[in-house]
Amino acid sequence: MKKSFLNIVMVEPEIPQNTGNVARLCACTGAKLFLCGRLGFSMSSKYLKRSGLDYWDKVEIEHLVSFDELVENFPEKENNYYFFTTKTDKIYSKINYQDGDFLVFGPETRGLSNEILEKYKKNLVTIPMRKETRSLNLSNSIAIGAYEVVRQLGHLGE
């Protein structure tokens, strides 16, 4: 497994349209997409294919059995992981991102597990939003995070 200038990680995504949108984003930025765990849809879903348009041959996607498998292949001590959640006050844009970082996002309906949040609590980040709102759309959140990395690094993946 090789890592990209930016690695987007979706843990147990549930909605095919979001995953298709993220695959398209990865194709456009040169980021690698990791899908971890059980998917809430089939990879042959017409909704997944439609939202990814004709970009499927331009994105590198890897489906792993679990998030733990990803960390085994890319150990935390050698790689930077940032976990997007509403359960922290650390703003995502305050991080100094580096080539090869991993941006990790949880499932649409429940976010990252408490186990992951507790284990990696020093690397939790959030996207600010109004207090009376619950969450942003997952694919929008991933786009916000990805383009902050692009902005800071000043380049797209090759």
Where does residue 75 rank: exposed (0-12), middle (13-18), buried (19+ CB within 10 A)?
exposed
Query: Could you give the domains of the chain?
Result: 6-153 (3.40.1280.10)
Q: Which tokens hold the place of 22?
A: 């993220």
Residue 53 pLDDT more than 90? no
Span 121-135, mean pLDDT?
Answer: 95
Which residue type does 71 have? V
Cα separation, 69 vs 75, in Å, equals: 10
State the Cα–Cα distance between residues 102 and 11, nearest whole angstrom.
Answer: 12
What pTM did the predictor assign?
A: 0.94
90-124 pLDDT, tens per residue? Answer: 999 999 999 999 999 999 999 999 999 999 999 99
Find how far residue 127's CA is from the centre of its chain: 13
